[in-house]
Structure 1
Amino acid sequence: MPTTDNFHDYSAGLTGPICGGFPITPDDAADIAQVTRAVMVSGAGDLSVVLKSGDAVTLPNLMAGVVYPFRIARVLNSGTTASGVMGLV
């Protein structure tokens, strides 16, 4: 029996629930496939990123399993110590 989705005809927005995710491999030269709505890591640490705005920042001391609402275009290998990075959309 297929899963019922009572909200299939609603459009996704930044305030709605996360509907998808993908693993991110940090890379200093390449943007990720899709700008995130949020990010989560499975191993705590710093996350060095380029935000959707183009600003490069380091997000310090992210905790594993916490959803952080950052619009990220690139996760940099340089300066990233967190592991298991997941982009959430």
Structure 2
Amino acid sequence: MDKYSDLPTTLTAPAREAAAIVPSDGDDLASLPRAIFVGTAGDVAVTMAGGQSVTLRGVAAGSTLPIRVRRVLATGTTAADLVALW
């Protein structure tokens, strides 16, 4: 039973869905996540929802990045086990 199923999913609510991210220099994610979980430490190169490109350096393993991105780039991303959260 889910006591919270009738509540709206907001950016501050816990994620309800997740999917592995395969970094790509040419393909956007199917849907913009509201956060990214980083399983293995490293750098995460992304294209933000607003179109800016940035590399987040030295992200620790187990971090959850509260960022909305359209693409996780293969070039420049050394972190692994990335998971999109919705």
CA distance in 1, matches of 2:56, 2:22: 16
Structure 2 stretches lacking a partner, 5+ long: none
Which runs of at least 4 in structure 1 moved beyond 4 Å after TM superposition?
none
Partner of 1:6 in structure 2? 3
Q: Scaled by the length of structure 1, what TM-score is found? A: 0.93
Partner of 2:12 in structure 1? 15
Whichever of the two has the greater Rg, that structure is 1
Deviations 1:31-73 (A, max 9, x none): 0111011101111000000011111100111111111101011
Match of 1:28 among 22, 25, 28: 25
Structure 1 stretches lacking a partner, 5+ long: none
CA RMSD of aligned residues (A): 0.7
Paired-residue identity, %: 38
Partner of 2:40 in structure 1? 43
2:52 is equivalent to residue 55 of structure 1: yes
CA distance in 1, matches of 2:2, 2:30: 26
Q: Scaled by the length of structure 2, what TM-score is found? A: 0.96
State the secondary structure of the residue aligned to 1:46: strand
